[in-house]
Structure 1
């Protein structure tokens, strides 16, 4: 990629990011999500995954999980859409994460998370938190893109493994653990 193509790529990445983020914020507003914090106060961080501010601040321990989402989405799309440009793959990854942010804030998903046991008090993300999660996943895609281009996709796999272990040690969660439990919960509901 020459410098003109690279500038165009990053410009389009920014456009995807801004547009996708605006759509998520609008949809979550229409779903009745609060702008920030359950108590109405703007906060940027909480470290308590069981407290009332979890998923209400810009960032929380699950921010690490969303960064890992970006890495996983990059690898998945690098395999599934090999012939597409990096810009297109970024746009697809960002769109998938945006869909996730909307889906995880539906009543169905919130109830499924509660049934898992770990997130009994979970009542959905604030718009600020969802935007933070989406942007963090986008950063994950960007980091993975750069790492894979300058080193190898194996480095990205190693980073995913390291972050999954870190997330497990820190909050007893991770991308694959959450996905697996969510699929089991939904499967039980649909099948029984």
Structure 2
């Protein structure tokens, strides 16, 4: 129960910090959609789930793997609750960093995110929830299944919207004009 309480406090703290950063609680359109499937509009990353939700599930799979590796390197597995809180802390930190003006502007420098103005708080909280789902699925699934599902999510999302976690990382760190043109539909 201690880990659950700490996790809920960490999520609430993240939401509170996002609000103090000026993030809107919900979409300024005044509605909350379960799924928002349009990438190139102002509603992207404002609702409960969207095309970037699979990338947060993959975060969870990767963070589970990372916490397992930390335990392997130290010669003793991390307690599951501690591993989960570590993964949760990294995801919450990412949500805060992702919603800074510097990162938002960096995303907006590419064609795929011209209308991106940051996440709503409810979207960030749901992104954290998606990471939690990925973390727990990676814990119960065989490694091969986690890898196959993550690859399928990347391929499907990449095909459908011309963006995914790998492309997102590349374009954030070192934008490639060929990717930018492909994402623009050229």
TM bucket (normalised to shorter chain) is: 0.7 to 0.9
**Shift in Å, 1:12:** 4.4
**Is 1:177 matched up with 2:171?**
no
In structure 1, the residue matched to 2:128 is 134
CA deviations on 1:1-52 (whole Å, 9 max, x unpaired) are xxxxxxxxxx345324312210111000000111100223333321111122
Matches of 1:46 and 1:30 in 2, distance apart?
Answer: 25
**Mapped partners of 1:141, 1:116: distance in 2:** 30
Distance 1:64 1:13, change over 3 A: farther
Equivalent of 1:107, from 101, 110, 114? 101
TM-score (norm 1): 0.83
Contact 1:110/1:122 (<8 A) preserved? yes
Instruction: Kindly indicate whether the alpha-carbon contact (under 8 Å) linking 1:16 and 1:94 is maintained by their aligned counterparts in 2.
Output: no
Q: 1:13 to 1:169 in 2, by over 3 A?
A: farther
SS of equivalent to 1:118: helix
Question: Which sections of structure 1, spanning at least 5 residues, go unmatched?
Answer: 1-10, 186-192
CA distance in 2, matches of 1:101, 1:154: 28
Q: TM-score, normalized by length of structure 2?
A: 0.85
Which aligned segments of 4 or more residues in structure 1 are displaced greater than 6 angstroms? Answer: none
| Partner deviation per Cα, 1:150-190 (whole Å, 9 max, x = no partner) | x3x233222221221122122222222211221115xxxxx
1:164 matched to which residue of 2? 154
CA RMSD of aligned residues (A): 1.5
DSSP-derived class of the 2:112 partner = coil
1:5 — aligned with what? none
Cα distance change of structure 1 residues 60 and 13 upon mapping to structure 2, 3 Å threshold: farther
User: 85-94 or 167-176: which moved more?
Assistant: 167-176
Aligned residues: 171
Aligned pairs for 1:1-192 within 5 A:
11-82=1-72, 83-147=77-141, 151=142, 153-185=143-175
The CA distance in 1 between the partners of 2:34 and 2:18, in whole Å, is 19
Residues 32 and 184 of structure 1, relative CA distance in 2, 3 Å threshold? same
Equivalent-residue separation in structure 2 for 1:122 and 1:34 (angstroms): 13
